[in-house]
Structure 1
Amino acid sequence: MPETHLVDAIVIGGGAAGLNGALMLARSRRSVVVIDSGEPRNAPAQAVHGLLARDGTPPAELLEQGRAEVRRYGGTVRSGEVVKAVAAEPAPDGDLRFSVTLADGDTLAARRILVATGLRDVLPDVPGVAAHWGGAVVHCPYCHGWEVRDEPIGVLATGPASVHQALLFSQLTNDLVYLSGGTALDDDARARLTARGVRIVETPVDRVMSDAEGRLAGVVLADGQLVARRVLAVASRVHARLDGLEALGLPVEDLPNGLGNRVVSGQAGTTAVPGVWVAGNVTDPSAQVGSSAAAGALAGAHINADLVTAETEAAMA
């Protein structure tokens, strides 16, 4: 790894967390490269919500502005897919080194890495759900709830977390159906749903039906009955996106109730792997755009401080 190709930090993932982490590093006069695969989790959404002063901004517009801001301070944002990231031999002064190989064959070297790759949503295997994902099929009442208020909403249960999801959506409409689909419902859950005026349908869902204009019309049950709905809420299972990063050995833990997994992190996104930080949905599945960006900023500042410490130690030596 020639020193001419060495950068202070490589950020893997060009979403809100990655770009804000890169912004903090670039503003600290650090050489930083963002590797962006161009597959943001919120790509199907029409707008970002719950983000102060930018509520309603299309996701692509927000990211384009973020990339421009990183570049304004000297950072590099490039399209690409990481196929391998490994820890390399330390520098003569003992500082850390990493090697990152891209799908196009380029190899980059860095002193630190920020992983902000996000999550991959795994939807229930019900025909028609994926076609409406990000439109009439939603998952988060805080991201999409206002936009679907007062609509006939169905909650397509995937597990215990769906009961909590239904209670949240009951705040947004008086016409809510809980499609249990064979998932377990104890007496307490039934009582809570009933108290909020939620109708429970226990017949399994066969498929999602669209109308002549392609809009969601409802769900067809296994007995052929149609439950008319304009919106479906689905708690997807989520998995940390770590393709190509396996060799780093990042610790991963399962989420409760079979909801997926996440990368384990500590303060400011530190991990058990020296020199590697994480930020955003890859470690905090519930984080929205604002909190993901904040986590990226905190991780970026922490990485800069860590580099300053290493440089100070080297100077003293």
Structure 2
Amino acid sequence: MTEAPLPQQSGQRRDALDEQYDAVVVGGGAAGLAGAVALARMRRRVLVVDAGQPRNAPADGVHNLLAREGTSPRELLAAGRAELAGYGGAVVDGRVAALRRSSGDGEPLRFDVVLEDGRTTTARRLLLAHSGTDALPPVPGLRDLWGSRVLHCPFCHGWEVRGRTVAVLATGPAAMTVHAATLWRAVADRVVVLEHTGPPVDAEQREQLEAAGTRFTAGEVVALEPLGDDAEGGVRVRLASGGALEVGAVVAASQVRVDTTLAEQLGAAVADVEAMGTVVATGAVVVDAVGATTAAGVWAAGNAAAPMAVVPAVAAAGMQAGAAMTMDLVREDAEAAARRTRAAREEMAGAAR
């Protein structure tokens, strides 16, 4: 799928980079922009570097975001960029190739920022908010329908397929299959478990699911095909046996993969995320309650730190990280001012002797 570029916003971008920023944000999704706005509203000089490849780009709309229900992901980001520009923040299109601490021990924190196209700048603080990528089951046609007719989260997409038949593609642990079938039953009229390559559900759990109206279809899925010209047309599921069934949507689990390159360059700890006996995300940056990483002066938010989080949650985490970064910058500024005052007093005292 080829993604259209984000719309240009007047006064929002510039190609040249300033020599130094209070904060550089890697990634211009909901988390990165929310963090940048929080910093900019406190009169911090902020640069966002964005590769323009949001993970949720295939989705028709963002849901559960109060007062923005159904807004397309790219429309939401364009509005966020415009907000940031209104507070004096800058966004540049590009990809960060390298981050490294340039200050020595005992010196104020400084970081070198190098973009893939060769542009460079420095930052006092960093926010890692780059997106992850979805590793999807290798079923022909699945990737093309991802985010529209092949779904993963009932809270994100359940309302849009309410009252229809939903098929759960079993590829991981049986516990995940049972969890998905149970949860999607809350919005779907009927749930079908496509046993595919997943391990069998134990007899007791199967009995419970069948009692709730879930049915099971044996055999490997060999293709998913769209029905009709829009997402409401549903999906034709083709089986290795030659049979097929038509459903309103297919549910499939992805493994989120976060690029750990920049975090590792900075010495920030990363860890895989597990759920129900399987790794659901790789390379998440380890953070504390306000998004601080194990590397001094570096914060992380969004899918970089919480790969399974939805847009409202990552936006909140980004704002919280931006606030914490602001407090850290203010503390450093106050300490620097105190050192200058002490030095001036000492100089005056020495001159008077």
Bin the TM-score by the shorter chain: over 0.9
What's the counterpart of residue 315 of structure 1?
337
Q: What SS does the aligned partner of 1:260 have?
A: strand
Deviations 1:233-262 (A, max 9, x none): 111111113455541233221222121222
What's the counterpart of residue 63 of structure 1?
77
Larger radius of gyration: 2
1:265 Cα offset (Å) = 1.1
Aligned residue identity for 1:181: H
Decide which moves more: 183-192 or 249-258. Answer: 183-192
What's the counterpart of residue 351 of structure 2?
none
Decide which moves more: 66-75 or 260-269. Answer: 260-269
Distance (whole Å) between structure 2 residues aligned to residue 90 and residue 196 of structure 1: 63
What's the counterpart of residue 230 of structure 1?
248
Percent identity among equivalent residues?
44
Q: Does 1:204 align with 2:220?
A: yes
RMSD (Å), alpha carbons = 1.8
Q: What SS does the aligned partner of 2:177 have?
A: helix
What's the counterpart of residue 306 of structure 2?
284
Gap change, CA 1:112 and 1:46, over 3 Å in 2: same
Aligned residue identity for 2:117: D
Gap change, CA 1:275 and 1:188, over 3 Å in 2: farther
What's the counterpart of residue 17 of structure 1?
31
Distance (whole Å) between structure 1 residues aligned to residue 40 and residue 102 of structure 2: 24
1:101 Cα offset (Å) = 0.9
Q: Does 1:168 align with 2:183?
A: yes
1:24 Cα offset (Å) = 0.6
Runs of 4+ in 1 over 6 A off after TM superposition: none
1:211 Cα offset (Å) = 4.1
Distance (whole Å) between structure 2 residues aligned to residue 94 and residue 309 of structure 1: 14
Q: What SS does the aligned partner of 2:99 have?
A: strand
Gap change, CA 1:212 and 1:75, over 3 Å in 2: closer
What's the counterpart of residue 149 of structure 2?
136
Higher RCO (Cα < 8 Å, 6 or more apart):
1
What's the counterpart of residue 279 of structure 2?
258
What's the counterpart of residue 270 of structure 1?
292
Deviations 1:184-227 (A, max 9, x none): 22344324422332112231211213347585532111211112
Aligned residue identity for 1:106: R
Gap change, CA 1:269 and 1:212, over 3 Å in 2: closer
What's the counterpart of residue 15 of structure 2?
none
- Length, aligned pairs only: 313
Deviations 1:137-178 (A, max 9, x none): 111111111111112211112213232122111111122111
Aligned residue identity for 1:37: A
Q: Which of these residues, 120, 132, 152, is aligned with residue 119 of structure 1?
A: 132
Distance (whole Å) between structure 1 residues aligned to residue 56 and residue 225 of structure 2: 24
Do the aligned partners of 1:24 and 1:300 also contact (CA within 8 Å) in 2?
Answer: yes
Gap change, CA 1:212 and 1:147, over 3 Å in 2: closer
Deviations 1:73-122 (A, max 9, x none): 1111111111111222249x611111111121101110110011122111
Aligned residue identity for 2:192: V
Aligned residue identity for 2:255: R
Deviations 1:46-76 (A, max 9, x none): 1111011111111111111110111111111
Aligned residue identity for 2:236: G
Q: Which of these residues, 185, 188, 193, is aligned with residue 178 of structure 1?
A: 193
Q: What SS does the aligned partner of 1:95 have?
A: coil
Distance (whole Å) between structure 2 residues aligned to residue 292 and residue 211 of structure 1: 33
Q: Does 1:146 align with 2:159?
A: yes
Aligned residue identity for 1:131: D
Decide which moves more: 232-241 or 255-264. Answer: 255-264
Distance (whole Å) between structure 1 residues aligned to residue 177 and residue 316 of structure 2: 28
Decide which moves more: 289-298 or 173-182. Answer: 173-182
What's the counterpart of residue 117 of structure 2?
104
TM-score (structure 1 length as normaliser) = 0.93
